[in-house]
A and B are shown apart, each in its own frame.
Chain A
Amino acid sequence: MRQRLIVIAGLLFAAGCTGLRMERTLRARPDDWPTFARTTGHSATSPGALSPPLARAWSEDIAAGTGNGSPVVVDSVVFVGNLRGDLYAFSASTGKQIGSIGLGDAIQGSPVIDGSVAYVALSNSRVSITAFDLFNGRALWRKSYGDVEVTPCLFRDRLYFGNTAGTFFCIEKATGDVRWKFEIPDNRTFKGIRSSPAADSATIVFGADDGTVYGLDADSGTVSWTFGTGAPVLASPLIVPGRVFVGNRHGEFFALDILTGRPVWKARTAGSIYANAVPAGSVIIVGNLSGEALGFSRSDGTLLWHTDLGGPINAGGAVAGRTVYIGTMKKQVFGLDPDNGAILWKTDAGGRIRTSPAAAFGRLFVTTDEHDLIAFREVK
């Protein structure tokens, strides 16, 4: 009798934690969206088209809310980390759950998939970065770097990320060993780093609570430049050739020179900017908490259009073909024409959206605070 109870208890425990092991190795595909905003520069642009209208292909329960990252997709497998610390994997085409595993207290950002290894940053846990072997279903290494609430940037076999205490790390992806670290100066009252770093050929760029955008040399960690915006920078930067685009909590949006950090242009918007900007041709698109989606001329910052989406925009969009997809806290997903901001399509996702969407393998993946991962597909 006692043995039976133990077995039942064990099964009940295991039911919430099914394990995560891929039955095949994951191969890099052109359509992959392997990290937050897809690339190290946060371009958030899918090589494939995804034209509206879209229809719900499937929807799966992910048991908790999601943070400031996005789902990631590699070789037709969707990975999403939730705020309970679980990493889920689903078939991108059918939504069938492949597995899940609890890694810590909360995954605020996105997992970063590199081959068959998932690098996951954790918040409020003793372990802050886990390198998880998806094929073998076990951790390769787990190390603590403080409270990490961003998506690490995987760049030239190193991971770059900051923690909420104001320390920025460069670590070796193979071992987790610290290559270098950078401390936000002690004279700053607000030191946290909640902006996921982006990288170009030599520079790592991120914003910080002290209102500064930092450009660090990727190899040495020395400060290449800094730019003070005057308000906390919680949004993640976008890097397109020669430029950094980022907004701050006062609703100001900046284009900076990637080499010097000097502002090229600046625009003021009506609400705090938490969302990363996305590029669509010559237009840079960003949303703010007042519910505006804005399209700026990439070259001179001219406001080309603005569209009221009716609810706070907490996360950046995803570009696929000639459409930029953006979710709002009012539960809606919009497909906008990046040239003029026209609403091409919208749908109710059933829950608030505070996480960026991902577009890959003919699907648009969206998470909601109703604990759903939803895949939309084109309506043929």
Chain B
Amino acid sequence: MKRLAPHLLPLLLLLLFLGASTADAQFFYFGRNKVQYTEFDWRVLKTDHFDIYYYTEMKELAERGAHFAEESYALLEQKFNHTVNVRVPLILYSSHIHFEQTNTTEGFIPEGVGGFFEFLKGRVVIPADGSVAEFRHVIRHELVHVFMTSKIGHVLSDHRKVGDRSPPLWFTEGLAEYWSTEWDGQGEMVMRDAVLNGSVVGLDDMDKIYGTFVMYKEGQNALGFLSRTFGEEKILLLMENFWKANSFSDDFKITIGKDYREFDEMWLYELKKQYYPLLAGHDAPSMAAVTVAREGFSAKPVVYEGDSVRTVYFIGNRTGYTGIYRKNLDEKDPEVTGEVVVQGEKTDEFESFHPFQSRIDVSADGRLAFVTKSGEHDALHIYDLRTDEVVQTFRFKELVSIGSTSWSPDCKQIVFSAINSAGDDDLYILTLATKELQRLTDDYYDDRDPAWSPRGDVIAFSSDRGPAGPRGVYNLFLYTISSGRIDYLTCDSASAGAPSWSKDSTKLAFTSELGGVKNIWVIDFTKNAPGAMRSMTRLTSFTTPAFDPAWTRSGDLVFGTFEKLSFQIREVKNVAKVLDTSSVVRPIDLYDKETPWEARTLAGVSEIKRLPYKGEYSLDVAESAISTDPVFGTVGGAIVALSDLLGNDQYYFLLYNTAESQADLLSSFNIAISHISMGQRTNYAYGIYRFTGRRYDLTVSDDYYYERVYGGYFAMSYPLSKFERIETSVSLSNSNRELLGDFVERRALLLSNSIAFVHDNSLWGPSGPLDGNAFSLTLAYTSDIQYSNVNYYSIIADYRNYLRLATRSAFASRLWLFYNDGKESRRFVMGGSWDLRGWPLWSLRGQKLWLTSQELRFPFIDQFAVRFPFGGISFWSIRGALFFDAGSAWDTQYTQTYGSLGGGLRMNLGGVLVLRYDIGKRIENNFTSLQNGLFTQFFFGWDF
């Protein structure tokens, strides 16, 4: 076992801490930033069973959350026949954008994550999204996880079984859905698509869809079937029998008398019986509509018709970066992908799109209104289609998240929905010239998808303010601009949304979940006699859903669809003619409409206390270990890590002893204490340390020495955006070094300063980046301010570029320039699978170093499966690479250039480790000859 030089240890600790503020970094100095834009004023609401953490702006939302949590607790207590005997910390955010800033988990939170239960501290972390019903659903979903974790732990503990296992993910997530919500349009969408397109998998094959939304819904469906067929108590019994079985399939056998395979036969047959008859009266979207955009992800279309060319604009993703695309609507070839208009997810301005939430809209004069996340809040952008540039961007301090947009007919105003800091999703009108913002609705109802009528007098929108709103049912409403009056447009038991006016204002297309999944329906206002009951006519009758209809001038409709796990854009031409032949007409009965419902807040909660949040610290890690090394002897130590409940402040305590004799005991203690603060935009860390012991300097051959070093450091990291940051650090340490053997002593009081700029917008594939670029420049200066024994400076530059050649292929380039100069300046190392391939690991050393790597990355084997009699194993995403490296390392005189070329394979194991195998030839003798024979290298690590 070799140890790094001790004055590297604080540096490593420091870098580790800075790394904690970033995510998905290949090496410690890259990675995007999780920026804490907002300073939250946290409070705690204590109820009977929960400590609810919220910030002041969302007090009412937190009280609703408290009610839902206690309501769910009472229900789940019975479902699980179990109580959770600890108070549950429930951390609430009023919007997803705020939620994305949480420090309760490392890494980025994708837009699709609606909340999570974190096992270590038992925390439940949940954002609101404007919908009271969804808020309630997510709270209950996560509390199912809390109860299940406690229940399973209890069952294993009761039987004195080791608590090292848990039910499979399909069961935990399936049950969380099954016991938290009704079977809804999303579940129906997923199951219809899976069954009718032959992609449904049984419990025995759930690993094929592991972790996907499809797995959640299949799990929910399977448990519904189990409950109907064998009794709901069998779900509880599966948990209570968990201790008996070695596998969950065995648990099934014990509990219901059927293992996975036998259960699958019944369940999958039932699914076929349920869904196959649909084909008699419905069609797949691809069979009944014209395909407009098929590749990748495509959604939220709008049509602009200028200069006699019909162009469809939509939110798409072809490469991994979401952006706005356009395509000629009359292009016959669906394989033509269209071109990128606005490239998202690479810059601060268009940090991310909301492809499932925000419709885009185009004005009559050719301006596109769309929304992206941009820093702390969402921003509304105006893009001029004639000049192909963003002409205006609006950010609203009070509005956190912005939904769909719709232009006024005079092109002077935009109506949109937005969520404020309190978590309310309401409608607003922006006047572009004056930047004046007018709030149209102000309540806790979820108002979405406004559509300004071309006549200009009303705005149609979707809202849960109808009588079935508490169950998550949305209806359509009309907002009259002159009076502010809101009227029902539909009042149904199935959700309606995404209204869209025809250009002459006579028809309104929208989606309705009548029949199970969203299809497009149309209200024709010309066909309703005054005073008569309106009706709606079904336009599409697809097996899987249609979304977000948008009219063309000639009366066609363009819309999104879902089929074969893919979101595509399709078109129905001549809507009027299709409507005339539709046999499904439904009267719109508004007579039963009721007054809007009231959201309950703290009803049923007997214990209520409101307190300011004060850091509540608990252990994250507490480990001690003793290790014995043939060279260094026995080493004993412990590490303790503490953090507060919100994860904003972390403390690390490291203690170990390297004494080789009793007399050395006191002098051989190694201690480091560090504090990291991440609750604000500028992350900082500081600490003190003392390290002592025999060391081996990796950069100097065969040098062992003894060193005592103590000191302190301070480091800061300021994210300029998600993609760029500045890092700086200063450390002061007293170093006393003795070279073993010749007893040379070197004393130094080292002052080190560094500053770095880091940029990274790279997009990662299974084995490494495939697109974007990354850059890091570090300047550092280290000097001995007391004895002048050490005095050197460092310049470290690292640039990487990834040129996308195809969806899964890229050409990657890397350039390193590392430069150290001065007294006792450190040597860099190079060689091996991570940098200069073909050369022995870290065999090239010098105070100066350069390296360039060029690599072609391409897919090689998508799946490699082996089926044994007792089960199967699959390897996914085996990638190929062709590479060329060149570089050198030297101290004072450049000697020669080294290189290599060859090819290799990379295989990702579980998303956490990449195995690498390279074969090739070294370029030797100062780049004049190739190696005799071939080198091979097998190692681990991500591609650069």
> Is the C-beta of B589 less than 8 angstroms from some C-beta in chain A?
no
How far in angstroms is the closest Cβ of chain A from B61? 28
- Check if B77 sits within 8 Å of A189, measured CB to CB: no
How far in angstroms is the closest Cβ of chain A from B230? 6
| Complex CA distance for A325 and B243, rounded to whole angstroms | 30
- Check if B83 sits within 8 Å of A290, measured CB to CB: no
Known: A190-B231, A209-B233. A65 touches B159 (CB 8 A): yes
> Is the C-beta of B158 less than 8 angstroms from some C-beta in chain A?
yes
> Is the C-beta of A272 less than 8 angstroms from some C-beta in chain B?
yes
How far in angstroms is the closest Cβ of chain A from B604? 12
How far in angstroms is the closest Cβ of chain A from B510? 40
- Check if A83 sits within 8 Å of B233, measured CB to CB: no
> Is the C-beta of B808 less than 8 angstroms from some C-beta in chain A?
no
| Complex CA distance for A123 and B77, rounded to whole angstroms | 25
- Check if B230 sits within 8 Å of A189, measured CB to CB: yes
| Complex CA distance for A88 and B229, rounded to whole angstroms | 40
> Is the C-beta of A352 less than 8 angstroms from some C-beta in chain B?
yes
| Complex CA distance for A51 and B229, rounded to whole angstroms | 48
How far in angstroms is the closest Cβ of chain A from B266? 11
Residues of B223-249 contacting chain A, CB below 8 A:
229-231, 233-234, 243-244
| Complex CA distance for A65 and B158, rounded to whole angstroms | 4
Number of B positions contacting A (CB below 8 A): 21
Chain A's closest residue to B83 (CB) is A329
- Check if B78 sits within 8 Å of A124, measured CB to CB: no
Chain B's closest residue to A165 (CB) is B257
> CB within 8 A of B160: which of A83, A249, A271, A314?
A83
| Complex CA distance for A311 and B78, rounded to whole angstroms | 9
- Check if A289 sits within 8 Å of B233, measured CB to CB: no
| Complex CA distance for A258 and B505, rounded to whole angstroms | 74
Chain A's closest residue to B228 (CB) is A189
Q: Which residues of A contact B83 (CB under 8 A)?
A: 311-312, 329-331, 352
Q: Which residues of A contact B257 (CB under 8 A)?
A: 165, 191
> CB within 8 A of A312: which of B77, B234, B244?
B77
- Check if B157 sits within 8 Å of A369, measured CB to CB: yes
| Complex CA distance for A257 and B78, rounded to whole angstroms | 30
> Is the C-beta of A234 less than 8 angstroms from some C-beta in chain B?
yes
- Check if B159 sits within 8 Å of A64, measured CB to CB: yes
> Is the C-beta of A134 less than 8 angstroms from some C-beta in chain B?
no
Contact with A along B143-158 (1 / 0, CB 8 A): 0000000000010011
| Complex CA distance for A311 and B82, rounded to whole angstroms | 9
Scoring A63, A271, A290, A312 by chain B CB atoms within 10 A of each residue's CB, the highest score goes to: A312
- Check if B85 sits within 8 Å of A352, measured CB to CB: yes
How far in angstroms is the closest Cβ of chain A from B890? 60
> Is the C-beta of A106 less than 8 angstroms from some C-beta in chain B?
yes
> CB within 8 A of A274: which of B81, B230, B231, B254?
B81
Q: Which residues of B contact A106 (CB under 8 A)?
A: 159, 243
How far in angstroms is the closest Cβ of chain B from A163? 12
> CB within 8 A of B78: which of A190, A191, A290, A331?
A290
> CB within 8 A of A369: which of B158, B229, B230, B254?
B158
> CB within 8 A of B159: which of A84, A147, A291, A354?
A84
Q: Which residues of A contact B157 (CB under 8 A)?
A: 65, 369
- Check if B231 sits within 8 Å of A232, measured CB to CB: yes
Contact with B along A327-341 (1 / 0, CB 8 A): 001110000000000
Contact with B along A144-172 (1 / 0, CB 8 A): 00010000000000000000110000000
- Check if A64 sits within 8 Å of B158, measured CB to CB: yes
Contact with B along A279-323 (1 / 0, CB 8 A): 000000000011100000000000000000001101000000000
| Complex CA distance for A83 and B159, rounded to whole angstroms | 5
Number of A positions contacting B (CB below 8 A): 35
Chain B's closest residue to A232 (CB) is B233
- Check if B85 sits within 8 Å of A84, measured CB to CB: no
| Complex CA distance for A191 and B160, rounded to whole angstroms | 28
| Complex CA distance for A105 and B245, rounded to whole angstroms | 12
Residues of B143-182 contacting chain A, CB below 8 A:
154, 157-160
- Check if B244 sits within 8 Å of A124, measured CB to CB: yes
Contact with A along B118-158 (1 / 0, CB 8 A): 00000000000000000000000000000000000010011
Q: Which residues of A contact B74 (CB under 8 A)?
A: 290
- Check if A331 sits within 8 Å of B229, measured CB to CB: no
How far in angstroms is the closest Cβ of chain A from B256? 9
> CB within 8 A of B229: which of A63, A64, A189, A354?
A189
How far in angstroms is the closest Cβ of chain B from A12? 16
| Complex CA distance for A63 and B83, rounded to whole angstroms | 21
How far in angstroms is the closest Cβ of chain B from A287? 12
| Complex CA distance for A124 and B250, rounded to whole angstroms | 12
| Complex CA distance for A322 and B157, rounded to whole angstroms | 36
Residues of A229-257 contacting chain B, CB below 8 A:
232, 234, 249
Known: A272-B81, A289-B78. A234 touches B154 (CB 8 A): no
How far in angstroms is the closest Cβ of chain A from B50? 15
| Complex CA distance for A164 and B237, rounded to whole angstroms | 11
Contact with A along B49-75 (1 / 0, CB 8 A): 000000000000000000000000010
- Check if A311 sits within 8 Å of B77, measured CB to CB: yes
> CB within 8 A of A314: which of B81, B231, B233?
B81
Contact with A along B192-230 (1 / 0, CB 8 A): 000000000000000000000000000000000000011
How far in angstroms is the closest Cβ of chain B from A208? 11
Q: Which residues of A contact B158 (CB under 8 A)?
A: 64-66, 83, 369
Contact with B along A61-88 (1 / 0, CB 8 A): 0011110000000000000000110000
- Check if B78 sits within 8 Å of A312, measured CB to CB: yes
Chain A's closest residue to B74 (CB) is A290
| Complex CA distance for A67 and B917, rounded to whole angstroms | 55
Q: Which residues of A contact B77 (CB under 8 A)?
A: 289, 291, 311-312, 329
How far in angstroms is the closest Cβ of chain A from B405? 48
- Check if B231 sits within 8 Å of A209, measured CB to CB: yes
How far in angstroms is the closest Cβ of chain A from B565? 34
Q: Which residues of B contact A124 (CB under 8 A)?
A: 244
| Complex CA distance for A124 and B157, rounded to whole angstroms | 16
Chain B's closest residue to A86 (CB) is B160
- Check if A190 sits within 8 Å of B230, measured CB to CB: yes
How far in angstroms is the closest Cβ of chain B from A65? 3
> CB within 8 A of A289: which of B81, B160, B230?
B81
Q: Which residues of B contact A291 (CB under 8 A)?
A: 77
| Complex CA distance for A164 and B83, rounded to whole angstroms | 25
| Complex CA distance for A209 and B229, rounded to whole angstroms | 13
Chain B's closest residue to A314 (CB) is B81
How far in angstroms is the closest Cβ of chain A from B360? 50
| Complex CA distance for A35 and B243, rounded to whole angstroms | 26
Contact with B along A17-60 (1 / 0, CB 8 A): 00000000000000000000000000000000000000000000
| Complex CA distance for A191 and B231, rounded to whole angstroms | 11
Q: Which residues of B contact A64 (CB under 8 A)?
A: 158-160
How far in angstroms is the closest Cβ of chain A from B155? 8
Q: Which residues of B contact A331 (CB under 8 A)?
A: 83, 85
- Check if B230 sits within 8 Å of A272, measured CB to CB: no
| Complex CA distance for A162 and B231, rounded to whole angstroms | 19
| Complex CA distance for A352 and B154, rounded to whole angstroms | 10
Scoring A123, A234, A369 by chain B CB atoms within 10 A of each residue's CB, the highest score goes to: A369
Chain B's closest residue to A189 (CB) is B230
Q: Which residues of A contact B160 (CB under 8 A)?
A: 63-64, 83-84
Binding site for A on B (CB under 8 A): 74, 77-78, 81-83, 85, 154, 157-160, 229-231, 233-234, 243-244, 254, 257
What are some 19 contacts across the A-B interface (CB < 8 A)? A64-B158, A65-B157, A106-B243, A124-B244, A190-B234, A209-B233, A232-B231, A232-B233, A249-B233, A289-B81, A290-B74, A291-B77, A314-B81, A329-B81, A330-B83, A331-B85, A352-B83, A352-B85, A369-B157
| In the complex, the 5 A-B pairs of residues with the closest C-beta atoms, listed nearest first | A65-B158, A289-B78, A329-B83, A84-B160, A83-B159
Given contacts A65-B154, A106-B159, 8 further A-B contacts (CB under 8 A): A65-B157, A65-B158, A83-B158, A83-B160, A289-B81, A312-B82, A352-B82, A352-B85
Binding site for B on A (CB under 8 A): 63-66, 83-84, 105-106, 123-124, 147, 164-165, 189-191, 209, 232, 234, 249, 271-272, 274, 289-291, 311-312, 314, 329-331, 352, 354, 369
